[in-house]
């Protein structure tokens, strides 16, 4: 983990992707971000009220969120809740972008699970139509923050 953190702290950009489970980022993503933020934070505030970071340059960051639910089911104020960690990334590293991928496939084979909440045919269709669009958005995000 020390080598990964060292690499991130010296990077020009950091992109982290995570699935969303019950309205939150995965526990693995949460643990990684906590370690990363603690490694970069100083707990100091400058005269303008801004956090002082150990990072002496702006590091562009982005979060890519994938979730099984369609946008219409975003009843948990997901984007607002997910903004909390991006706020910390922005305060310590510099601005953090977000990309939301909705209606992703949760199972490779829906018939293998007891499930009447999601339509397997719809999920297959969404993967054919929406997934390439989400990949294109992710590619463009990478271009923006690396250039």
Specify the CATH number of the domain 2-146. Answer: 3.40.50
- Per-residue pLDDT of 15-27, as tens digits, reads 999 999 888 899 9
Closest C-alpha among 63, 72, 81, 62 to residue 126? 72
Q: Is the pTM of this model over 0.75?
A: yes
Q: Which residue has the higher pLDDT, 57 or 61?
A: 61
**Residue 74: Cβ-neighbour burial (10 angstroms; 0-12, 13-18, 19+):** middle
In the chain, where are the structural domains located?
A: 2-146
**Residue 107, pLDDT score:** 82
On whether the CB atoms of residues 60 and 95 are closer than 8 A, the answer is: yes
Where does the pLDDT of residue 74 fall: very low under 50, low under 70, confident under 90, or very high at 90 and above? Answer: low
Q: How far apart are CA 59 and CA 126, in angstroms?
A: 34
Q: Which residue has the higher pLDDT, 73 or 111?
A: 111
Task: Write the CA distances from 66 to 33, 53, 84, 87, 129, integer angstroms.
Answer: 17, 29, 17, 19, 16
**Residue 100, pLDDT score:** 92
């Amino acid at each position: 983990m020390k080598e990964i953190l060292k690499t991130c702290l010296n990077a020009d950009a950091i992109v982290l992707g995570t699935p969303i489970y019950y309205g939150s980022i995965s526990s693995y993503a949460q643990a990684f971000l906590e370690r990363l933020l603690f490694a970069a934070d100083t707990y100091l505030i400058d005269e303008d009220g801004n956090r002082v970071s150990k990072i002496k340059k702006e590091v562009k960051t982005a979060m890519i969120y994938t979730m099984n639910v369609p946008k219409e089911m975003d009843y948990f104020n997901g984007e607002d809740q997910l903004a909390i960690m991006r706020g910390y990334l922005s305060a310590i590293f510099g601005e953090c972008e977000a990309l939301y991928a909705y209606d992703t496939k949760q199972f490779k084979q829906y018939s293998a699970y007891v499930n009447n909440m999601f339509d397997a045919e719809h999920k297959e269709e969404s993967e054919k139509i929406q997934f390439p669009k989400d990949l294109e958005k992710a590619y463009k995000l990478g271009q923006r923050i690396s250039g």
